[in-house]
Amino acid sequence: MSAAPATEIPEFAPSDLFRILADETRLRAVVLMHAEGELCVCELTFAIGVSQPKMSRHLGVLRDAGLVRDRRQGTWIHYRIAPDLPAWGGPILESVCASVAHDDPFLDDRKRLAVMPDRPAERCTT
């Protein structure tokens, strides 16, 4: 699977999407971004409780697959769900996120994020 340019709709098969989301860290990151919108790497790391290198590696997989987009703002890199998913991908992602959002560990991730001190979103405008 190669990285898709930002202006092009990513081309991947349903099996690619499920393979990517089969990893718990990536699934938790996607569910959290779906619920919260754009998040900084440090917010995802704090909420999910993994190291920054591990989170960055997983976000790279999501970005290279075309599932998320990133942008740099100062020292922070922010990630969000790609707005141009294939027509079949959006409903699948929506359904998966809605079905697990109120379960552990996904609900716990949102609770931890809510109490994160000194969040980048509070220090900079997006």
Is CATH 1.10.10.10 correct for 14-113? yes
What is the pLDDT, as a whole number, of residue 122? 60
Enumerate the H helices of the chain as residue ranges: 14-21, 24-36, 41-48, 52-65, 89-100, 106-114, 120-123
User: Of the candidates 84, 83, 32, which has an alpha carbon nearest to the alpha carbon of residue 58?
Assistant: 32
Question: 121 by DSSP, 3-state: which?
Answer: helix
| Separation of alpha carbons 46 and 42, rounded Å | 6
Residue 126 reports pLDDT greater than 50: no
Residue 3 reports pLDDT greater than 60: no
Give tens-digit pLDDT for 53-106: 999 999 999 999 999 999 998 888 999 999 999 999 999 999 999 999 999 999
Give tens-digit pLDDT for 12-37: 889 999 999 999 999 999 999 999 99
